[in-house]
Amino acid sequence: MGDMSEQDSRPSWNHDLSQADVLWLAAGFITKITHHWRMTGVDTSEDWIELHRGKSDGTKERRRFPSSFLNTNGYFEFRPNWRQLVTPTYRGENAIKDLEAIDAWEKKHARQRAEYERLKKKFDG
């Protein structure tokens, strides 16, 4: 199986947004943003935005974020162009590159990981 050296370790994720959020935002084109607000009590309320994206296969998805998300996250911003409403910033581009590096590393080591899980199951079993 070989020795895993420090140079071959899994790339780290050092970003404020989760990997799942970056993957979701980078995987489609945000074509609609809706703002929602509701009363939760006599003097309290809740508000959020939903980002709607179209995927290459024609399906549509939406995901809920805090209402200030596009103003404060530093990774993606409201900057409409001819294709989409939300675009990555410099930090967002770097997060996407890190996500791609992690994905490439996991694909490269998938067989070793499967063998490790098989042996772990066998001996812990």
pLDDT digits (tens, 9 = 90+) for 35-56: 999 999 889 999 999 999 987 7
63-91 confidence digits (pLDDT tens): 999 999 988 899 999 988 888 899 999 99
> What is the rounded radius of gyration, in angstroms, for the C-alpha atoms of the chain?
20
CB 99 within 8 A of CB 41: no
Question: Which comes out higher in pLDDT, residue 51 or 112?
Answer: 51
Classify strands 60-66 and 45-54 as parallel, antiparallel or unpaired: antiparallel
- pLDDT higher than threshold 70 for residue 2: no
Cross-strand bridge partners of residue 37: 47
Q: Quick one: which of 116, 124, 123, 95 has its CA closest to 12?
A: 95
pTM of the entire predicted model: 0.74
